Chain A
Amino acid sequence: MPVKVGIIDYGAGNLRSAANAVQALGFDPVLLARDEGFDGVTHLIFPGVGAFGDAMGELHRRGLADPIRQWIAADRPFFAICVGYQVLFDSGLESPGVPGLGVFPGKVVRFPEDGRKIPHMGWNAVRLLDPSDPLWAGLGAQPYFYFVHSFYPEPEGSDLIAMECDYAGTRFAAAIRRGNLIATQFHPEKSQQAGVRLLGNFLR
Chain B
Amino acid sequence: MDKRAGGGFPAGVLAKRIIPCLDVTDGRVVKGVNFVDLIDAGDPVECAMAYNEQQADELVFLDITASSDDRATMVDVVRRTAEHCFIPLTVGGGIRTVENMREMLLAGADKVGINTSAVKTPELVDAGAKAFGSQCVVVAIDAKREGPGKWGVYTHGGRTPVGRDAVEWAKEVWRRGAGEILLTSMDCDGTKAGYDCELTAAVSEAVGIPVIASGGAGNLDHMVEVLERGKADAVLAASIFHFGTHTVGEAKEHFAARGIPVRPHVD
Query: Which A residues are within 8 Å of any B CB, using their own CB?
Result: 14, 16-17, 20-21, 23-24, 49-51, 113, 115-127, 140-144, 146, 148-150, 164-168, 171, 189-196
Contacts and interface: CB of A to CB of B under 8 A. Distances in A.
Contacts of B57: 122-123
Contacts of A123: 14-15, 17, 57, 263
A171 B11 CA distance: 10
Contact of B14 (A124, A149, A171): A124
A150 B133 CA distance: 11
A125 B52 contact: no
A124 B86 contact: no
Contact of B266 (A16, A150, A193): A193
A118 B86 contact: no
Contact of A126 (B11, B107, B180, B264): B11
Contacts, number: 121
17 contacts: A24-B84, A117-B209, A117-B210, A119-B209, A120-B14, A121-B135, A121-B210, A122-B14, A123-B14, A125-B10, A125-B13, A144-B15, A190-B88, A191-B86, A192-B266, A193-B266, A195-B86
Contacts of B6: 140-142
Given A144-B263, A146-B88, A192 B52 contact: yes
Contacts of A16: 82, 106-108
Contacts of A166: 11-13
A146 B110 CA distance: 12
Query: Mostly helix, strand, loop or mixed at chain B's interface?
Result: loop
- Of residues B14, B84, B180, which shows the largest number of chain A Cβ atoms within 10 Å of its Cβ? B14
Contacts of B249: none
Given A118-B209, A124-B11, 18 more contacts: A14-B110, A16-B107, A20-B82, A24-B86, A49-B135, A115-B208, A116-B208, A121-B135, A122-B17, A125-B11, A127-B11, A141-B6, A142-B8, A146-B88, A149-B135, A166-B13, A192-B55, A192-B86
A17 B5 contact: no
